[in-house]
Amino acid sequence: MAILSFSELEKKCTDENKPIYEIALEEETVLSGDIADVIRLRVLEDLLAMKDAVKHGLTSEEKAISGWCGDDCVKLVKKFAERPSLFGKIFEKITMYALATAEENLRMGRIVACPTAGSCGIVPSVIIAAAEERKIPEVQQVNGLLTAGMIGLIVSNKVQLAGAVAGCQAECGVASAMAAAALVQMLGGNTGEILNAAALALKNILGLTCDPVCGLVEVPCIKRNAFLAVHAVTAAELALCGVESKIPIDEIVDTLKITGQLMSPLLKETSLGGLAKTKTALELERILHSKNDKA
Amino acid sequence: MEQKSLFSVISPIMVGPSSSHTAGAVRLGLMARNIYKNDFKKVKFILYNSFATTGFGHGTDKGLLAGVLGYQVDDSAIKNIFDNVKNIQYSYEYTEDISRHPNSVDIIFDDKMTICGDSVGAGEIRINCINGFLANIDGTYDTLLLMYKDRPGMISTVSDIIQKQKVNIASLHCDRDSKGGTASMYVALDIPVGDDVVEKVKQIKDVFFVTNIRKLK
């Protein structure tokens, strides 16, 4: 029987005295017919692909087809080497890795959709940066990614994870909740802390719209990956200190869904409103179309 | 409600930038390739709506071409596909049709077969129409497709052949242009059937086209 809510998940974890990632493995075993080790291996493949994307993205300055974006990560790499970030090494790595992955995506590099391609930098940046700085072994990184997957899966049972359906709250927002949960898992938090971290992350991005310029996964999507990766860390830190979300996560997910329904279609991946209709965006659109016609 | 996999949220590994406009485009191409099966000299893509307007910036054109050539969604070569294609004539047309899905394409092989499909989100696809006949193929099942002269008893004859192979039928869709006219049948299977089954179905009176469509990876 599928787990359709976080309260069911929490109850199962408590009753069976198992962490979320174990439950995730069991559920996937039933669904796919594969043994747990095979599933872990598939998750590891995803993790390694994420690391590859970061590695490529850190050094590339290649622009997207549009010619707008693709050289911001390298700016961070250079500048942080001269002037360390106020927040320290982990912050540097998270922002760099998030941009590296999102830029790799826009230049048609190989990435892992997590949960979507537009939000592909958030979960990897948090997992990989934390693992490197805290020397967290690979097996625990896989546990983190499994935990993230379980969070995303339960949200996706209630609301489709697409900007066109519920705005960016359902893409980068959910990715941030997934990353927060992964981080708490990797830092040794318990089920309650993991769910609180996801709740806090999700609660604080409700209403985020999807208004990409020209309909491309570039502006504002790329930089948003860095912002929501850091957002995930805030949620994880608060949860690990014992801060609890007053509104339970299931109710936050319902709110996300309803907020998505209330959101104007102009702000749901149609590029008919928001940033996509600013003066500058319209000018970029004009230039892009003249480029397109020449191609 | 069908239970979803963990890998629906932490996969696929793909080349960017968009699951619908890039990975979906590759998968539409792959599916069309599985349906047409033959080596082709010429392929034309007609892109509709959002595929037409934002496809350029998303590499939808590259994805579709890579797909019909058999590249998988995570192949880094997709980016430079235009440099690697030889001996195949390919072309694109961009248009609008509000009766179609926002991310819609017609793939036409050798002026012989037209396959219409949509990219429905998160890399998922649906083939709606093959040479004018309604289809409903999403790439998750091996599917036997046949076209024939509409007459009573065709479903039972076909299902009898499949049943003898001990293969379970997951779903079955039929369509026809008119009573007694040309009809199509899509049989989604839990496990693929061999070419021997295709041959047997071909022998059925009034069947004039049969193909065995493999599911996507």
B215 falls in which pLDDT band (50, 70, 90)?
A: very high
Percent of chain B with pLDDT over 90: 76
pLDDT category at B4 given cuts 50, 70, 90 is: confident
At residue A138, the pLDDT reads 98
Angle, helices B49-58/B24-36, rounded to nearest 10 degrees: 110
| Spatial contact of A125 and A144, defined as CB atoms under 8 Å apart | no
Q: Is the pLDDT of residue A270 over 60?
A: yes
DSSP B63-114: HHHHHHTT--TT-GGGGGHHHH--S-EEEEEEE--TTS-SEEEEEEETTTEE
CB contact under 8 A, A65 and B8: no
Q: Give the residue-averaged pLDDT of A167-191.
A: 98
Query: What is the spatial distance between Cα A4 and Cα A94, in angstroms, rounded to a whole number?
Result: 31
Q: Are the C-beta atoms of residues A252 and A206 closer than 8 Å to each other?
A: yes
Of residues B54 and A57, more confidence is placed in A57
Percent of chain A scored above 70 by pLDDT? 98
If one counts the domains in chain A, the total is 1
Looking at residue A290, its pLDDT comes to 84
What is the per-residue pLDDT across B123-179, written as a single tens digit (0 to 9) for each? 889 999 998 888 889 998 999 999 999 999 999 999 999 999 999 999 999 988 899
How far is Cα A149 from Cα B8, in angstroms, rounded to an integer? 9
Query: Which domain covers residue A241, as residue numbers?
Result: 7-294
Say how many CA atoms lie within 13 Å of A35 toward its Cβ.
1
**Is A201 domain-assigned?**
yes
Dist CA A119 CA A221 (whole Å): 7
Mean confidence (pLDDT) of chain A? 96
d(CA A58, CA B116): 39
Question: With 0-12 CB in 10 A as exposed, 13-18 as middle and 19+ as buried, what is A135?
Answer: exposed
Q: Is residue A138 part of a domain?
A: yes
Residue B92: φ, ψ to 5°: -130, 145
Q: What is the least distance, in Å, from the CA of A39 to any CA of chain B? A: 10
Q: Does A132 touch chain B (CB under 8 A)?
A: no
| CA–CA separation, A13 and A21 (whole Å) | 10
How far is A205 from A183, CA to CA, in rounded Å? Answer: 18
| Among the ranges given (A61-70, A93-102, A195-204), the one the predictor scored with the smallest mean pLDDT | A61-70
Of B59, B36, B40, B60, the C-alpha closest to B48 is B60
Q: What is the mean pLDDT of residues B76-92?
A: 94
- For residue B164, CA distances in Å to A65, B153, B160, B189, B196 come to 53, 17, 6, 13, 12
Which spans in A6-88 are helix H? 6-16, 20-32, 36-59, 72-82
Q: What is the pLDDT of residue A294?
A: 62
> In this predicted structure, what is the pLDDT of residue B3?
77
Best probe of the B interface among A66, A99, A108, A269, by most B CBs < 10 A, is: A108
Q: Is the minimum CB–CB distance between A27 and chain B shorter than 8 Å?
A: yes
- Residue A206's CB is within 10 A of a number of other CB atoms, namely 15
pLDDT tens digit sequence for B12-65: 999 999 988 999 999 999 999 999 988 999 999 999 998 998 888 899 999 999
The answer to which of A107-116, A238-247, B118-127 has the lowest mean pLDDT is B118-127
Taking the whole predicted model, whether its pTM rises above 0.95 is answered as no
Residue B121 above 90 pLDDT?
A: no
Residue A293, judged by CB atoms within 10 A of its CB (0-12, 13-18, 19+), counts as exposed
The alpha-carbon gap from A217 to the nearest alpha carbon of chain B, in Å, equals: 6
Test mutation, A44, A103, A110, A171, chain B, max B CBs within 10 A: A110
Q: Which of A228, A158, A148 is nearest to A184 (CA)?
A: A148
The CATH number of the domain holding residue A116 is 1.10.4100
pLDDT at B56: 83
In B, which residues are within 8 Å of A32 by CB distance? 5
Closest A-chain CA to B74: A110
Quick one: DSSP state of residue A266? G
Chain A residues inside the 8 Å CB shell of B57: 64-66, 214-216, 218, 288, 292
Inform me whether the C-beta atom of residue B98 falls under 8 Å from chain A C-beta atoms.
Answer: no
* Res. A291: pLDDT tops 80: no
Which positions in chain A touch B93 (Cβ < 8 Å)?
none
The reply to whether A15 falls in a domain is: yes
> With contact defined as beta carbons under 8 Å apart, do B41 and B89 qualify?
yes
- pLDDT tens profile A79-93: 999 999 999 999 999
Q: Specify the pLDDT at position B54.
A: 84
Residue indicated by tokens 């974890």 = A13
What does DSSP say about strands B182-189 and B89-95: parallel, antiparallel, or unpaired?
unpaired
Mean of pLDDT values over A195-223: 96
In angstroms, the CA A122 to CA A119 distance is 6
Residue A161 has pLDDT above 70, yes or no: yes
A1 within domain boundaries: no
Convert the pLDDT of each residue in A233-247 to its tens digit: 999 999 999 999 999
Alpha carbon distances (Å) from A91 to A47, A226, B53: 20, 10, 38
Is B8 close to A123, i.e. CB distance below 8 A?
Answer: no
Q: Is the pLDDT of residue A25 over 90?
A: yes
Structure tokens at B102: 């926002």
The answer to whether residue A180 is domain-embedded is yes
Any CB–CB contact under 8 A between A54 and chain B? no
Looking at CA atoms only, how far is residue A82 from chain B in angstroms? 31
Q: Tell me whether residues A116 and B122 touch, CB distance under 8 A.
A: yes
Q: Examine the pLDDT at A295 and tell me if it is beyond 60.
A: no
Contact A97, B1 (CB under 8 A): no
Q: Are strands B42-48 and B89-95 parallel, antiparallel or unpaired?
A: parallel
- Asked, for residue A254, whether it belongs to a domain, the answer is yes
CB-based contact A152 B9, cutoff 8 Å: yes
On whether residue A227 sits in a domain, the answer given is yes
| For residues A252-271, average pLDDT | 94
Q: H-type helices in chain B, by residue range? A: 24-36, 49-58, 60-68, 81-84, 154-164, 195-203
Q: What is the pLDDT confidence band of residue A130, given thresholds at 50, 70 and 90? A: very high
Q: What is the pLDDT of residue B124?
A: 86
Residue in A267, A229, A226 with CA at minimum distance from that of residue A69: A226
